[in-house]
Amino acid sequence: MNTPPLPIVLILCTGNSCRSHMAEGILRQAASDLLDVRSAGSKPAGYVHPLAIRALAEIGIDISAHHSKHMDEFLQQQVETVITVCGNADQACPMFPGQLNRHHWGFDDPAHAEGGDEEQLIVFRRVRDEIKMVFQAYADGRRDAKK
């Protein structure tokens, strides 16, 4: 018997370099048995910020193989849920085929943090922890809804 594909959850940000990748890694860890988690951007930066990779590695999540993608790559896919994590992506977000849900949970952009690496890393950790709290609760809610 074929198992139906997992619903796609697409996390969008403008640059797809920090917040959306952190959210993707966190939600994938929390709910990869329930959801096919992806991320993309409306204007992809072309890289994943090294401090985002480092902040997630500190909590045991490896996003070092992630790459920056444009949201148009998903226009032909059945995206069940779109979650925007920055205001610009929320405004630029199209409707995707099969889309049932849309959420906007905005977070500060850690890429704009000032100072040296250590000062910037403090901001990345704060945003990571905020993202983890929201996306873990979302994963828990999706898990409860399946019961």
Question: Exposed (0-12), middle (13-18) or buried (19+): which is 86, by Cβ within 10 Å?
Answer: buried
Report whether 104 contacts 134 (CB < 8 A): no
Residue 1's pLDDT is 64
Residue 99's pLDDT is 80
Smallest Cα–Cα separation from 112: which of 27, 2, 46, 14? Answer: 14
Domain ranges of the chain: 8-140
- Residue 22 to residue 90: CA distance in whole angstroms: 17
* pLDDT tens, residue order, the chain (147 aa): 677 899 999 999 988 999 999 999 999 999 999 999 999 998 999 999 999 999 999 999 999 999 999 999 998 889 999 999 987 766 766 778 788 899 999 999 999 999 999 999 999 999 999 999 999 999 999 999 887
Residue 26's pLDDT is 98
Tell me the two tokens of residue 15. 């640059």
Smallest Cα–Cα separation from 14: which of 107, 96, 143? Answer: 107
Any idea which residues carry the catalytic annotation?
Answer: 13, 86, 93
DSSP state of 74: G
Report whether 89 contacts 13 (CB < 8 A): yes
Residue 51's pLDDT is 97
Backbone angles phi, psi at 102, to 5 degrees: -145, 130
Residue 27's pLDDT is 98
CA atoms within 13 A on the CB side of 86: 25
- Residue 104 to residue 116: CA distance in whole angstroms: 30
Question: What is the reported pTM?
Answer: 0.93
CATH among 3.40.1260.10, 3.40.50.2300, 1.10.443.10, 2.102.10.10 for 8-140: 3.40.50.2300
Residue 97's pLDDT is 76
